[in-house]
Chains A and B, each alone.
Chain A
Amino acid sequence: MAETIFRARSLTRTYLTGEVAVHALRDVSLDIQAGELVVMLGPSGSGKSTLLNIMGGLDRPTSGELFFKGIELTALSERELTLYRREHVGVVFQFYNLIPSLTAYENVALVTEISASPMRPDEALALVGLEARRNHFPAQLSGGEQQRVAIARAIAKRPEVLLCDEPTGALDSKTGIRVIDALVNVNTQLGTTTLIITHNASIHAVADRVLFFADGTISKIQVNERRLSAAALTW
């Protein structure tokens, strides 16, 4: 039995957006095993991103507890949380969030410079098949290429956890499949625990487990006996 990397208990998150209180997450409890590839499915506003952000140390729950390898994330100070993000977590966002004024290489270096035992930026770019585009600025890259740079940036620090929020959301199917392929590769080759949020149900086939979200809770968990390779996906 693999080690439990995340243990969430009764996580709740309420946002005050302008004048409206949004219950983004309601009493969610969950365990994630090390090396697992988990796909999170569900409509907009169902709580996927909120859970992912809390796991990534990008946000804090309103109540509940979250443990990372026995460390209570919910009890960490702001500085400790930053260190947690820096050392353990790689994040991939739907809109890539590359720094426009930095090249592909430099966007990756932005992270390797502050991590303890990173790979070389070129190595990370090679893992996503972009070594040839290292000196291009984000504006000179296609959407898929930008997203792969973002993945390279996320994995370059050799994180234990890779959190991906709609990594294919802004991409066409062919490019999306290349991105998923890159993520699956990272998961299998480096053993990085990977959580992928998506709207795209066909992606679930690459996962060990699929979490279905609705109204801020996990409504269903599906376990895949056999994982498909990304190449086998279509949508």
Chain B
Amino acid sequence: MTTLDTKLKRDLRRLWGQVLAIALVIAGGVASLVLSTGSFRSLDETRIAYYERYQFADVFAEVTRAPKTLVTRIAEISGVAAVEARIAKLALLDIPEFPEPATGRFISLPETGSPLLNRLYMRAGRLPGANDLDEVVVNESFAKAHGFGPGDRFSATLNGRKRELTIVGIALSPEYVYAIGPGDRMPDDRRFAIIWMSERALAEVFGLEGAFSWVSLKLMPDAVETEVIDALDDLLEPYGGGAAYGRKYQTSHAYLEHGLDMLRNMSRTLPPIFLVVSAFLVNLTLSRLVALEREQIGLLKALGYFDTSIVAHYAKFVAVVALIGIVIGSAAGTLLGVYVTRLFGDFYRFPFLVFADSPDVYLLAALLSLFAALGGAFRSLREIVSLAAAVAMQPPAPPSFQRALFGRMELGSLLSQRMMMMVRGMARKPIRAALATLGMAFATAILVVSLFIGNAMEELVDVTYFMADRQDATISFAEKRPETVVFDVSRLPGVLAAEPYRQVPIRIRKGSLERRTLLSGRPPGADLSRIIDIDLRTVSLPETGVAISAYLGRLLDARVGDTVEVDLLDGRRRTVELTVAALVEDYFGIAAMMDAGALSRLLREAPTANGVHLSVDDGKLDLLYEAIKQMPTVAGVALQRVSLVNFRQSLAIIVTTMAGIYTGLSIVIAFGVVYNSARISLSEHARELATLRVLGFSQGETMRILLLELSVIVALAQPPGWAIGYGLSWLMNKQLAGELMRVPLVVENLTYVLATTIIFVAALISALVVGRRVYALDLVAVLKTRE
């Protein structure tokens, strides 16, 4: 080991506080990239592996009743690789000691046992025997929510008849990675079950012998999905079908995609910001740190060291600091990535997780950090090494101060000498002061954007649950009912108000842009499920025309007054032209809404309802549940309050955990930056401060001068920090918006306050730590000046 390396080792030990602080800033940037990209890739590979191994279908269609002979003709459609026809029906469940009505999605299993497509991952037990008509397999999350295992029993009202069922197996399916009940917004494992039964049993109950009600297709790699869908629609139309759809509109897949999209977009937005900010800060810090070594560099030159050896020495120092940061960041990022992957893996019901290796991500993060660190060091080294040894060994010449700044102004006399020292000090090196301020502003900004995600979730809940959808419960029917059903429902115990709604699947189109969604009809003056527009005002629907989600408007490039084409995929299929009457700012899904009467006329049918929104007397809930369980026509009940709880317990937890992780990383970065600023500022001003001590200033007074500059920079950095933070939040907001969910752009004042508070606390703690060093200033050593 050369003596220079010994020096390197000792310098690293001597400056361990700063070394660690800089390393943590680097670690923050590296960890954010490793964690987000790592978890996204792991989940994406998990999804791909799951879909592949368990043969998740590509195209889906429901029919009322189609003969099985049709399957051969479907298989002949060009591009179709495999066909799976089955019976799928919704039914109410009655679970022992569980008062709320639950819904089951009953799916038939072929007589051969395991299905060809959408295969089951058996967690426990076995498939039902082809002739054991009361045996079922249930999905794992439902079983877990009720503590069910093979051998447990519950009952269901299948086609109006109550039936005792016995669980023989627990399974997962790629079709229900995200299992959401009718009318619900969030999965509720207690109240929604996927139940697989023998085909014979379901065929008997629903009178579908020799027929099917659902078909899934696997496509050839080169198949054109839209062509297959058109061909399938043509075949199924006579049998009450004709609204086939691809994976994009398959609920579970769509939600999963959206979740992964959000994760991907987060990983594309926040980590680069973190990494760039940390790189910038590290560059800034190391540049100042190396500048402090000016005299030692001069000495090494004087002793006959080549510039290249000196540069290499400091490059090594900086590289070690960067490497410490990279190692800490990679380790933390990997651990956090695994944690986030598990969190998502839990939310989406994956039977297994694939943890993806991402060497490229580590390499990218490491190289960027290393270059940033070395770049900062070289910036200073180039300047110092170019000086003659004799010049470098002396402290820099007294800078030329400008009296002009405050000098001529009367204001000058208002400032204390100490204030003047600080102001002129900053004015002398305006670029350095500006960069320091900018660095601090970025620290504030990344705190703001991290905290913003939490704000957005609150706003989402507020608008959705308290302003728009104010119903307590929503009943959905297995088949559409005459609108007069609302009178029956009104008479149920505990019902305070009831509003019917009608939902029709549609394709909505403007020019070449098309989306599939639901068109819902609402009675005029609906009060429970309201429509809230961009400005958060209640919208009453016009008698003609359609209101659409603002996001759908953007997707279709449709504005108020534009005409859109709508294919009605229910009842008498027709294509109609409608005028966009309003754009509605909603946060979940893309929806189209219109007046219920107008919708009936459009459908050329008597007023009908798919369900009813209810306002309920809390005290009579149990009675209501009992009554609903007795209604054979009800397919499911969505409970708003439960939905809110589920939202808070699932998605909100994920999002706030992510936000928490990023906030944690940004606190680490912020602290590292502030601490280093204070430490370096102390070194830069050591001589001045020691002079003041000799002149009779107390330690406290001297420390205040040091802290004055720090606090001024911190304070100056806040407004630009807020502005940058808002800008980054806007970017996040744009990046996270998807067809299933949007995050509102709401940055609470509290967020700014919190971000700034964190920075000030970091500054205070740094000040206390650094302050101790002011007390320890060696006055004599510092003041020995050269000739």
Contact = CB atoms under 8 A, between A and B. Distances in A.
A83 interface: yes
B784 A106 contact: no
Contacts of A157: 304
B302 A91 contact: yes
B298 to A, nearest CB: 8
A165 B394 CA distance: 13
B3 A102 contact: yes
A59 B390 contact: yes
Interface of A: 17-19, 44-45, 49, 53, 56-60, 78-79, 82-83, 85-87, 89, 91, 93-95, 97, 99, 101-102, 106-107, 109-111, 113-115, 153, 157, 165-166, 170
B3 A82 contact: no
Contacts of A53: 388-390
B3 A110 contact: yes
A94 B299 CA distance: 13
A114 B4 CA distance: 11
Contact of B7 (A18, A49, A102): A102
B14 interface: yes
A58 B388 contact: yes
Interface in B351-409: 388-391, 393, 397-400
Contacts of B784: 95, 170
A107 B3 CA distance: 8
A19 B400 contact: yes
Contacts of A153: 303
A2 B184 CA distance: 104
B390 A58 contact: yes
Which of A87, A110, A170 has the largest number of chain B CB atoms within 10 A? A110
Given A18-B399, A85-B302, A110-B7, 11 more contacts: A17-B397, A45-B787, A53-B390, A82-B301, A82-B306, A94-B786, A102-B3, A102-B7, A106-B7, A110-B303, A153-B303
A97 B526 CA distance: 85
A235 B128 CA distance: 110
Contact of B3 (A60, A83, A106): A106
Contacts, number: 92
Contact of A18 (B6, B390, B400): B400
B3 A101 contact: no
Given A17-B397, A18-B397, A19-B400, A109 B307 contact: no
Nearest to A157: B304
Contact of B303 (A18, A59, A85): A85
B10 interface: yes
Contacts of B45: none
A143 to B, nearest CB: 10
A29 to B, nearest CB: 21
B684 interface: no
Contacts of B3: 102, 106-107, 109-110, 113
B11 interface: yes
How many of chain B's residues touch chain A, expressed as a range? 20 to 34
Contacts of A93: 393
9 contacts: A58-B302, A58-B388, A58-B389, A86-B303, A94-B786, A94-B787, A101-B7, A101-B14, A157-B304
Given A60-B388, A82-B305, A99-B299, A49 B787 contact: yes
B400 A82 contact: no
B2 interface: yes
A18 B428 CA distance: 12
B78 interface: no
Contacts of B306: 79, 82
A44 B786 CA distance: 10
Interface string B1-27: 011101100110010000000000000
A170 B787 CA distance: 12
Given A59-B389, A59-B390, A110-B4, A97 B304 contact: no
Contacts of B304: 82-83, 85-87, 89, 111, 114-115, 157
A78 B393 contact: no
Contacts of B570: none
Q: Which 4 A-B pairs have the closest CB atoms?
A: A86-B304, A101-B10, A58-B390, A53-B390
Contacts of A107: 3
Contacts of B399: 18
A41 B384 CA distance: 31
B295 interface: yes
Nearest to A85: B304
Nearest to A105: B3
Nearest to B8: A101
A19 to B, nearest CB: 5
Nearest to B11: A101
B777 to A, nearest CB: 14
A51 to B, nearest CB: 11
B575 interface: no
Contacts of A49: 390, 787
B7 A99 contact: yes
A153 B390 CA distance: 18
B413 interface: no
A95 B393 CA distance: 11
B611 to A, nearest CB: 77
B131 interface: no
A59 B6 CA distance: 28
A196 B433 CA distance: 43
Contacts of B305: 82, 86, 114
